């Protein structure tokens, strides 16, 4: 298609540029703030727009925590990042494993009430964590899972979305492939491992990206669930760093932590982008 409408071109570019600034500028501001000292941020109004010289110190303070110049203490973001990483990984891998298996069961096995089971899974789409948060909390606390990784992850693992996605994908796999595998002597789990899993690779990658970010960004559930500092994920940690009653907020460390918290999901997206797009767009059959 050849188009030559300079004004429309200009307008669309302008829209895009505004969009990029709207998203990019706060990120830039976060980064700039993390390179100054806390005093420089608070005392200069408006705050400086060029990088300062406190980069290493801010990030050291953010990662390892410790005494600040104004006398407060900061928790170490390093361990919170680790908690977040473990939680996000367990949630995304657990979700994918469970939904693959349940979709496999729903599509390929005839068992009593199969339709009902599928619809029950499907209906839970309407019940996100936030809706069932109190009963879930009760269950988890009665099981003694508060302040554990199990408590942080297990209630978030069951996933109707992923089950549904895999079910739809499995339905597009031709029946002849199943039959060919049966003639080749492959049992159900063998077929699952040798044929279905490799065929779902791109969908798995796409889901991993989505679920990793979902797990990483969990806020409300860990807030209820964790009372001990060493089980705080980083998203919660940032919020806690702002609540300092006895000292000035260490904005530079907060911003550095925010930057650090953004890196893992960004990396996952960037590294898996090709697979992600492939998984959403084409289905290789």
Partner 1 sequence: MAAISLRAIHKTYGSGPRAVKVIHGVDAEIADGEFVVIVGPSGCGKSTLLRMVAGLEEITGGEIAIGGRVVNRLEPSERDIAMVFQNYALYPHMSVFDNMAYGLKIAKVPAEQIKARVDKAARILELTALLERKPRQLSGGQRQRVAMGRAIVRQPAVFLFDEPLSNLDAKLRAQTRLEIQKLHRELGITSLFVTHDQVEAMTLAQRMMVMNAGRMEQFGTPEEVYQRPQTVFVAGFIGSPPMNLLRGQADGRRFVSGGQTLALPQPAPRAGELILGLRPEHAEWGVDSAEAWRLQVDVVETLGAERLVYCRLGEALFTVRIDGTLPAPMPGEQVPLGVRADRLHWFDAGSGQRVA
Is the alpha carbon torsion for 39, 40, 44, 46 positive or negative?
negative
* Site size toward partner 1, by CB under 8 A: 19
Q: Verify binding: residue 174, partner 1, rule CB under 8 A.
A: yes
Return the number of the residue (77 or 181) whose C-beta is nearest partner 1: 181
Exposure of 61 in the CB half-sphere (CA atoms within 13 A): 26
Three-class secondary structure of residue 73 per DSSP: strand
Q: Verify binding: residue 278, partner 1, rule CB under 8 A.
A: no
Three-class secondary structure of residue 66 per DSSP: strand
Three-class secondary structure of residue 69 per DSSP: coil
User: Among the candidate windows 73-81, 82-90, 188-196, 229-237, which touches partner 1 by CB under 8 A?
Assistant: 188-196
Q: Verify binding: residue 193, partner 1, rule CB under 8 A.
A: no
Smallest separation, CB 189 to partner 1 (Å) = 12
Q: Verify binding: residue 177, partner 1, rule CB under 8 A.
A: yes
73: phi then psi, degrees, rounded to nearest 5: -120, 140
Question: For partner 1, which residue of 46, 183, 228, 246 counts as binding (CB under 8 A)?
Answer: 183
Return the number of the residue (130 or 282) whose C-beta is nearest partner 1: 282
Smallest separation, CB 199 to partner 1 (Å) = 6
Residue 1 burial (CB < 10 Å; 0-12/13-18/19+)?
A: exposed
Q: Verify binding: residue 282, partner 1, rule CB under 8 A.
A: no
């Amino acid at each position: 298609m050849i188009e030559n409408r300079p004004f429309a071109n200009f307008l669309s570019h302008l829209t895009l540029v505004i969009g990029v600034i709207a998203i990019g500028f706060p990120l830039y501001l976060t980064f700039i703030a993390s390179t100054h000292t806390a005093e420089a941020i608070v005392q200069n109004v408006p705050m400086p727009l060029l990088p300062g010289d406190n980069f290493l110190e801010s990030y050291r303070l953010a990662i390892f925590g410790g005494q600040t110049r104004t006398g407060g203490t900061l928790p170490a973001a390093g361990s919170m990042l680790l908690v977040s990483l473990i939680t996000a990984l367990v949630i995304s891998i657990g979700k994918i494993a469970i939904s693959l298996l349940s979709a496999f069961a729903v599509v390929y096995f005839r068992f009593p009430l199969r339709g009902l089971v599928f619809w029950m899974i499907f209906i839970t789409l309407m019940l996100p964590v936030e809706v069932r948060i109190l009963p879930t909390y009760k269950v988890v606390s009665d099981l003694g899972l508060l302040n554990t990784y199990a408590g942080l992850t297990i209630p978030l693992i069951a996933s109707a979305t992923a089950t549904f996605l895999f079910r739809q994908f499995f339905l597009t796999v031709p029946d002849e492939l199943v039959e060919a595998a049966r003639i080749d002597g492959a049992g159900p789990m063998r077929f699952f491992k040798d044929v279905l899993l490799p065929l779902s690779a791109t969908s798995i990658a796409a889901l991993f990206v989505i679920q990793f970010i979902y797990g990483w960004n969990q806020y409300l559930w860990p807030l209820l669930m964790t009372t001990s500092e060493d089980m705080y994920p980083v998203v919660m940690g940032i919020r806690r760093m702002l609540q300092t009653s006895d000292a000035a907020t260490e904005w530079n460390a907060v911003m550095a932590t925010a930057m650090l918290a953004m890196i893992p999901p960004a990396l996952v997206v960037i590294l898996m982008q090709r697979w992600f797009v492939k998984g959403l767009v084409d289905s290789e059959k």
